[in-house]
């Protein structure tokens, strides 16, 4: 059998596409080579913290803090837990008796919403701004801590009237608006688990997640604004709910006065629901180990994983990291450009800033509307102190040109952050020079939905290297190992693992503890397997190279190859699909699909369009398909598993590695 993926004779323009492919491979190879040299050069230059930054830093002696925490991480996290208000403190810090189901702060009682709101009111800072909001069209809103506290309480009482109780699941399918924060906090106050689903997901993806969690309530909106258009969220939600028996009521936020279908028995307007509610509400006394929320993320199968975080530990991890990584002192305006539907939004738009009592900025819309300086305009307008964003956005902004950030006064900026995918040295330097004006340190934070909080990241007082996530956060022990779990030498690539436990670690996968054990703890017993590949340089700095499994990172969004493949197979023309990620200068990666067509179908441009629509319908706009190729064969193992690694190597013209398992 020939080993190559044979371009199909059904492909209309074989010669042209072969040329194009060769050109692309050449480009990718050059990009790769450049990247490697860049990384090597960056590994040498060290950016030291300025005197100004050191003067303000919460952690002044970085090395000493790392060393002390490493000696006794449990003690470090116990100290950190003192920043939280507990109704009852713990009998034991960490329970390892049922590995890998670790437990933190055993016997302690607390509440997430209480820590994010009530305690600030009690401390007399209720007048401080909690949320600043702006949307693409220029509408604005503002909530003080006291106002937010009252809104949350009203919604707590309303949800209780709808029958929501501790432990129930509530699905939230909302854009980046204050009601998202209010809904999440209201669930937390009751002790119900929210399951926020990114509002860019399709009806099918939303339905899958609602069904898995058996949510009894869905909170959505009439619509949301995106790139000048209204996204009709309610009709997407309606389609999803049709497939979900568990949903009894749908709460609808009026966000843009859209006309929507309304099922009078099932649907209720948010504003009607909260109208006459009391502004005081009872706080559930949660056990530290009670589940706080479920958040679905993509894995290596088509079924997303419902990651569960626990109340006490999640709070401790998120508060300590936001305070130290972004050097918070209580009065900052913090802008995290993620969406609340991802873990970054949970931890660093909503919970982290509110736990820390600072001001969080929410922006509903795209960063380049009406002009490419929208993001810089917002920073100037609200005097943002900390900007926490993603490499894909940084690269897109760099492409628009240096003149756009230069138009705005951004003196308020003190610290910059990045998350979601590798920030290449070139983009790092652009961010440092043109946004931070060479005075704002960049916190490139490596972490995951499963870790709940930053894991490998600098602190403002730490030395930096462009393109490196530097070193583990104090109290975290990470390393690079080979496939047998043996530590590898400096400079050698391998699997990124975490050797100890941390408070905000995922507790399990909803309704699937076996999958939790198998995915993260079985292959290398004793370690948490992150699924990423990385290397450590001679100074102990970590360099993330990407996912080592079948998970893609498209513009920082996590998506499983299996999910995309099963979306393609929904179309009657497709018998088999193999999907890989290929490098993209802005999005990091885009999807390339190799499809085998059923007899009688021809690989036309028309069919490509239809297939793109099928995937979009199944998954939503998160799945950016860069290219589709129609092929006659896919490289497979004897057991019939598609070898995506081989597909990728062939596409990029790289060595195929061990192909002994390959049969076709
Ligand atoms: O591959 C890593 C990449 O994002 C993955 C986690 O994705 P998700 O659970 O969606 O959470 C994203 C936000 C925390 C990781 O396995 N990743 C995250 N941060 C970085 C990163 N890759 C490189 N550098 C980062 N700073």
Distance in angstroms (rounded) separating the CA atoms of residues 516 and 318: 22
Give DSSP secondary structure letters for 267-286.
EEEHHHHHTT--S--PPP-E
* Residue among 445, 553, 559 whose CB has most ligand 1 atoms within 8 A, to mutate: 553
Q: Residue 583: inside a domain, yes or no?
A: yes
Check pLDDT > 50 for residue 4.
no
Residue ID of nearest Cα to ligand 1 atom 14: 448
Distances (CA, A) of 370 to 115, 138, 257, 397, 585: 38, 10, 21, 14, 23
457 in the same domain as 566:
no
Q: Check whether residue 408 and residue 501 sit in a common domain.
A: yes
CB atoms within 10 A of CB 10: 15
Q: Could you tell me the pTM of the whole model?
A: 0.91
Question: Is residue 489 in some structural domain?
Answer: no
Ligand 1 lining (C-beta closer than 6 Å): 297, 342-344, 418-422, 444-449, 469, 530-532, 544, 547, 553, 558
Domain assignment of residue 429, yes or no: yes
Q: Are residues 315 and 204 in the same domain?
A: no
Q: Are residues 360 and 424 in the same domain?
A: yes
Say whether both 155 and 66 belong to one domain: no
Mutate to test the pocket of ligand 1, among 306, 424, 447 (most ligand atoms within 8 A of CB): 447
Instruction: Name the residue at shortest CA distance from atom 6 of ligand 1.
Output: 448
pLDDT tens-place string over residues 269-281: 999 999 999 999 9
**Residue 544 CA: which ligand 1 atom is closest?**
23
Check which CATH number belongs to the domain holding 647 and give it: 3.30.300.30
Tell me the CATH number at 506.
Answer: 3.40.50.12780
Domain presence at residue 153: yes
Q: What sign results for the dihedral spanned by CA atoms 594, 600, 601, 604? A: positive
| Residue having the nearest C-alpha atom to atom 26 of ligand 1 | 446
The pLDDT confidence band at residue 20, using thresholds 50, 70 and 90, is low
Region of residue 158 (left: phi > 0; alpha: psi -120 to 50; beta: else)? alpha
Distance CA 358, CA 349 (A): 11
Same domain, 563 and 513: no
pLDDT tier at 36, thresholds 50, 70, 90:
low
404 within domain boundaries: yes
Burial of 356 (0-12, 13-18, 19+ CB in 10 A): buried
Does the residue 382 lie in any domain?
Answer: yes
Q: Which atom of ligand 1 is nearest to the CA of 450?
A: 9
pLDDT digits (tens, 9 = 90+) for 179-232: 999 999 999 999 999 999 999 999 999 999 999 999 999 999 999 988 989 999
What is the Å distance from ligand 1's center to 446 Cα? 6
Q: Please choose, from the candidates 472, 468, 432, the residue with its C-alpha nearest in 3D space to the C-alpha of residue 62.
A: 472
Q: Is residue 472 part of a domain?
A: yes
Whether 13 shows a pLDDT value over 60: the answer reads no
Contacts of 210 (CB under 8 A, 6+ apart): 171, 195, 197, 218, 240, 241, 244, 246, 247
C-alpha of residue 146 to centroid of ligand 1, in Å = 34
- Say how many Å lie between the CA of residue 420 and the centre of ligand 1: 4
Instruction: Name the residue of 305, 446, 548, 622 whose CB sits within 8 Å of the most ligand 1 atoms, as the mutation to test its pocket.
Output: 446
Residues 525 and 598 both lie in one domain: no
CATH number at residue 256: 3.40.50.980
Tokens of residue 100, six digits: 């890998």
Contact 497, 478 (CB under 8 A): yes
* 177 plus 238 within the same structural domain: yes
Same-domain pairing of 337 and 248: no
> For 661, left (φ over 0), alpha (ψ -120 to 50), or beta?
alpha
Domain assignment present for 275: yes
Tell me the CA–centroid distance for residue 154 and ligand 1, in Å.
36
Confidence of residue 310 (pLDDT cuts 50, 70, 90): very high
Domain of 446 in residue numbering reads as 41-111+309-476+495-529
Stronger pLDDT, 10 or 106, i.e. the higher one:
106
Q: What's the total number of domains in the chain? A: 3
What digits encode the pLDDT tens for the residues 600-609?
Answer: 999 999 999 9
């Amino acid at each position: 059998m020939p080993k190559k993926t044979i371009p199909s004779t059904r492909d209309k323009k074989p010669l042209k596409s072969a040329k194009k492919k060769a050109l692309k491979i050449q480009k990718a190879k050059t990009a790769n080579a450049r990247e490697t040299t860049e990384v090597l050069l960056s590994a040498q230059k060290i950016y030291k913290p300025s005197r100004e930054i050191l003067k303000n830093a919460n952690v002044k002696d970085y090395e000493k803090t790392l060393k002390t925490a490493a000696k006794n991480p449990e003690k470090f996290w116990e100290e950190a837990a003192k920043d939280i208000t507990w109704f009852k403190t713990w009998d034991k810090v960490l329970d390892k008796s049922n590995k890998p189901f670790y437990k933190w702060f055993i016997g302690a009682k607390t509440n997430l919403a209480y820590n994010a709101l009530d305690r600030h009111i009690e401390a007399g800072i209720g007048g401080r701004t909690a949320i600043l909001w702006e949307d693409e069209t220029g509408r604005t809103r503002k909530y003080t801590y006291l106002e937010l506290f009252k809104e949350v309480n009203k919604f707590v009482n309303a949800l209780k009237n709808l029958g929501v109780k501790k432990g129930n699941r509530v699905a939230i399918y909302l854009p980046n608006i204050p009601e998202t924060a209010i809904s999440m906090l209201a669930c937390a106050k009751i002790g119900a688990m929210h399951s926020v689903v990114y509002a860019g997901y399709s009806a099918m993806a939303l339905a899958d997640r609602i069904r898995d969690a058996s949510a009894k309530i869905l909170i959505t909106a009439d619509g949301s604004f995106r790139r000048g258009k209204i996204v009709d969220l309610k009709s997407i939600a309606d389609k999803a709910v049709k497939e979900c028996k568990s949903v009894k009521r749908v709460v609808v936020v009026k966000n843009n006065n859209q006309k929507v279908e309304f099922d009078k028995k099932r649907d209720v307007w948010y504003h009607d629901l909260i109208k006459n509610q009391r502004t005081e509400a009872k706080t559930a006394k949660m056990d530290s180990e009670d589940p706080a929320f479920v958040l679905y993320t993509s894995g290596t199968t088509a079924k997303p994983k419902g990651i569960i975080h626990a109340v006490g530990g999640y709070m401790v991890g998120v508060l300590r990291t936001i305070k130290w990584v972004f050097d918070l002192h209580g009065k900052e305006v913090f802008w995290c450009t993620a969406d609340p539907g991802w873990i970054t939004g949970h931890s660093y738009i909503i919970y982290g800033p509110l736990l820390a009592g600072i001001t969080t900025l929410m922006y509903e819309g795209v960063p380049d509307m009406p002009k490419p300086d929208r993001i810089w305009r917002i920073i100037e307008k609200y005097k943002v102190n900390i900007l926490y964003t993603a490499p894909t956005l940084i690269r897109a902004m760099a492409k628009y040109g240096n003149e756009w950030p230069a138009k705005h006064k951004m003196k308020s900026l003190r610290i910059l952050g990045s998350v979601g995918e590798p920030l290449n040295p070139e983009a790092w330097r652009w961010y440092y020079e043109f946004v931070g004006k060479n005075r704002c340190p960049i916190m490139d934070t490596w972490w995951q939905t499963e870790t709940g909080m930053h894991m490998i990241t600098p602190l403002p007082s730490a030395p930096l290297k462009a393109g490196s996530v530097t070193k583990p956060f104090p109290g975290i022990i990470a390393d690079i190992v080979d496939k047998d779990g043996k530590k590898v030498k400096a400079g050698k690539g391998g699997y990124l693992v975490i050797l100890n436990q941390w408070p905000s670690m995922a507790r399990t996968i909803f309704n699937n503890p076996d999958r939790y054990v198998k995915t993260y703890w079985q292959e290398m017993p004793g370690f948490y397997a992150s699924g990423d590949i990385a290397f450590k340089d001679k100074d102990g700095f970590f360099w993330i190279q990407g996912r080592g499994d079948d998970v893609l990172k498209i513009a920082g969004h996590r998506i499983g190859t299996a999910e995309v493949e099963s979306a393609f197979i929904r179309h009657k023309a497709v018998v088999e699909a193999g999907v890989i990620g290929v490098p993209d200068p802005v999005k990091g990666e885009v999807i390339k699909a190799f499809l085998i067509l059923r007899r009688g179908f021809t690989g036309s441009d028309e069919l490509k369009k239809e297939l793109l629509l099928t995937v979009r319908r199944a998954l939503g706009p998160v799945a950016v398909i860069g290219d589709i190729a129609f092929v006659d064969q896919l490289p497979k193992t004897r057991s019939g598993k598609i070898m995506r690694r081989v597909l990728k190597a062939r596409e990029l013209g790289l060595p195929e590695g061990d192909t002994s398992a390959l049969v076709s």
